[in-house]
Each structure stands twice: as structure tokens, then as C-alpha cells.
């Protein structure tokens, strides 16, 4: 009783894990960023950036929205559709020209 054998469930274990875990990027500290107050960029710049998560590092398509001499604040979306922001080292970011494909 209580099981719908005809249709089954549309909620998989993977879907539940994605909601529960909600990967959050590891961002640089204010000391690592090198500035206490960083103004936003006049307009976002398309970039590819390596982002660290507790589980792994991945390269994501992103927008650079602020930067200092040594760090860049990026904004990007993952599969769950939420926008994430993180500060990463400037050397982990490369500019992507319009029409250029991600690696």
C-alpha cells in the first residue's frame, strides 16, 4: 500500500543528493583578495575560471564581476540553476572571446 507501481517516482536519489549537498565554491579570504572594498566591474567580462569545491576543482564558464591585482570575483551557474559567486586567484582565470568555445 502507498506505492504507485504504475508511475513510479520522479525523484531519484541523485536529485535528492544534489539538493542536499548544494555544492558551494571555496572563495578566497579578504586577506588573499588583497583589498577590503572592491568596486564592481563596469560590465561583466566573459571568462573561464578554475573553481575549488570541497570535493574537486572544475573549470566553469563564468563572468568576471570584480577584480584586484591578484584575485577575480566570478559569477557562474551550475546544473541546479542557482547563481554562485566566488573569489579565485587571477591566475585561475582566462578571458573568453565572443564565439570562443570552452575547453
Mean pLDDT value across the chain: 85
DSSP state of 98: T
Q: Is 37 a residue whose pLDDT tops 70?
A: yes
Please determine, looking at this structure, whether the domain spanning 24-95 carries the CATH number 2.40.128: no
The domain spans of the chain are: 24-95
Query: So what's the pLDDT on residue 94?
Result: 97
pLDDT in tens, 40-61: 999 999 999 999 998 889 999 9
The answer, as to whether pTM is greater than 0.85, is no
| pLDDT average, residue stretch 62-87 | 94
Describe the chain by its helix, strand, coil percentages, rounded to 5. Answer: 15, 35, 50
Q: How many CA atoms lie within 13 A of 68 on its CB side?
A: 16
Query: So what's the pLDDT on residue 84?
Result: 94
Amino acid at each position: 500500500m502507498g506505492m504507485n507501481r504504475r508511475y513510479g517516482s520522479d525523484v531519484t536519489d541523485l536529485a535528492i543528493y544534489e539538493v542536499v549537498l548544494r555544492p558551494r565554491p571555496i572563495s578566497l579570504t579578504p586577506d588573499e583578495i588583497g583589498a577590503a572594498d572592491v568596486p564592481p566591474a563596469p560590465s561583466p567580462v566573459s571568462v573561464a575560471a578554475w573553481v575549488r569545491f570541497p570535493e574537486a576543482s572544475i573549470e566553469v564558464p563564468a563572468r568576471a564581476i570584480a577584480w584586484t591585482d591578484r584575485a577575480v570575483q566570478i559569477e557562474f551557474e551550475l546544473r541546479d540553476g542557482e547563481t554562485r559567486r566566488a573569489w579565485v586567484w587571477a591566475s585561475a582565470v582566462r578571458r573568453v572571446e565572443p564565439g570562443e568555445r570552452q575547453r
